[in-house]
Amino acid sequence: MHVYTIARLHNHDRDLDDISVSKIENSTLNSLKNAKGIYIYRSYSTELNVIPKHIPPELIHQISLSLPRTDLVSMTTVNRCFQAEAERLLYESIGHGLSVSAMISCFDILIAVKSKAIFVRSLLVDHSDPETLLIERLCDCIPVLLSLTHLQLLLPYETSAMAIPLINAAFE
């Protein structure tokens, strides 16, 4: 936003020159010539080029940390810098509160886009009735999760008996 200001002083001895003139039309200047005292006129306008061309990554990081996950998803559409930081935070911890179908979709993305898989540090699979497809996708995904430091599997006993050999094989 730009603020255009003109001010004219008048004292008893003589008129003083315009204090500040910035992008004001001549007709406005002429109407201010007879001003007595101090008069300040302001107008406001917006222009598209007021967005900074470069925001420091530290500032983007601090903004991102304060946002809920839904806003981080929206942040991925702003520009490449915002997208990189939002994706890093979105993929850092996966599985907390996701449905089975959302987990399967997430695993599919991580398998297809390994640059996103490198962000994953924590993975939680906590479902009382997981589909076999979820376990299969998890096993396919484990080899690409190179930064994984925390894996928590909370599965029913019946499912874990089938899943443990598959998961162990994925880690080998």
> In terms of domains, do 69 and 7 share one?
no
* 10 lies in the same domain as 38: yes
Q: Do both 100 and 138 map to the same domain?
A: yes
Q: What is the pLDDT of residue 52?
A: 60
Number of domains the chain is built from: 3
In a shared domain, residues 68 and 45: no
The pLDDT, as a whole number, for residue 19 is 45
**Phi and psi angles of residue 66, each rounded to the nearest 5 degrees, phi first:** -90, 0
* pTM for the whole structure: 0.62
- The residue behind tokens 């061309």 is 53
Instruction: Kindly state whether residues 117 and 166 are assigned to the same domain.
Output: yes
Same domain, residue pair 104 and 71 = no
* Residue 78 lies in domain: 52-91
Domain boundary among 91, 114, 149: 91
Model pLDDT, residue 47: 53
Examine the domain organization and report whether 56 and 42 are in the same domain: no
What separation in angstroms does the CA of 87 have from each of 74, 84, 122, 124, 144?
10, 5, 14, 18, 16
State the pLDDT at residue 117. 93
User: H or E element: which one contains 142?
Assistant: none
pLDDT tens series, the chain, 172 aa: 444 444 444 445 554 444 444 444 454 445 445 445 544 445 555 555 555 667 788 888 898 899 898 899 998 888 888 899 999 999 999 988 888 899 999 999 999 999 999 999 999 998 887 888 888 999 999 999 999 999 998 888 877 788 888 888 888 8
Residues 108 and 167 in one domain: yes
- For residues 73 and 143, membership in a common domain is answered with no
* pLDDT value for 45: 52
Q: What is the pLDDT of residue 50?
A: 53
Q: Which residues of 4-30 are buried (b: 16+ CB within 10 A; e: fewer)?
A: bebbbeeeeeeeeeeeeeeebeeeeee
The answer to whether residues 107 and 165 belong to one domain is yes
